[in-house]
Amino acid sequence: MKIFLDASLLVYLIVPTPEIEEKIANFYTKLIEENELYTNVLVFDEAIFISKKKYKVSYKDSMVFIEENVLPYVKVLPIGLEDYLKAKNNIFRYSLKPSDAIHLGVIENNGLQAIATEDEDFDRVPIKRVWF
């Protein structure tokens, strides 16, 4: 399956809490082994920012984590005008935040089938949401 990785997954990987560390690692490993994984740079921006703001992880540490543990396994899709145009409609159709609407536009324009995210807002959209 072609799955888009959202920022919530990356934040949990960057800053795993003791109670979910093994679960999130197993979930990510299974995603890598059984699927084609995709994301975009907006997800990186969100994960790096949230990891710093909420968990005090340095920008450098988050970036090193992404470079070593995400980039080797995940294709980074570009964000273009077509994605914005889809996002514009998705904001109102599904009551999404702008960044989530952009992610959905990327998903739709690239024929992806699911999103790996904790964000239940994606339960309102016509793609599958997977979570551990």
What's the confidence (pLDDT) of residue 37?
99
Contact yes or no for 111/131 (Cβ under 8 A): no
Given this model, what pLDDT does residue 16 score?
85
Q: Give the DSSP per-residue string, 49-117.
A: HHHHHHH---HHHHHHHHHHHTTTTEEEEP--HHHHHHHHHHHHHHT--HHHHHHHHHHHHTT--EEE-
- Give me the amino acid identity at 131: W
Q: Are 77 and 24 in contact (CB under 8 A)?
A: no
pLDDT score for 78? 98
Number of domains in the chain: 1
Instruction: Report the C-alpha gap between 123 and 72 in whole angstroms.
Output: 29
Name the residue type at position 113: Q
Domain CATH for 33: 3.40.50.1010
pLDDT of residue 98: 98
- pLDDT tens track, the chain, 132 positions: 999 999 999 999 999 889 999 999 999 999 999 999 999 999 999 999 999 999 999 999 999 999 999 999 999 999 999 999 999 999 999 999 999 999 999 999 999 999 999 999 999 999 999 999
Predicted pLDDT of residue 27: 98
pLDDT of residue 66: 98
Tell me which residue range forms the domain holding 20. Answer: 2-130
- SS3 state of residue 37: strand
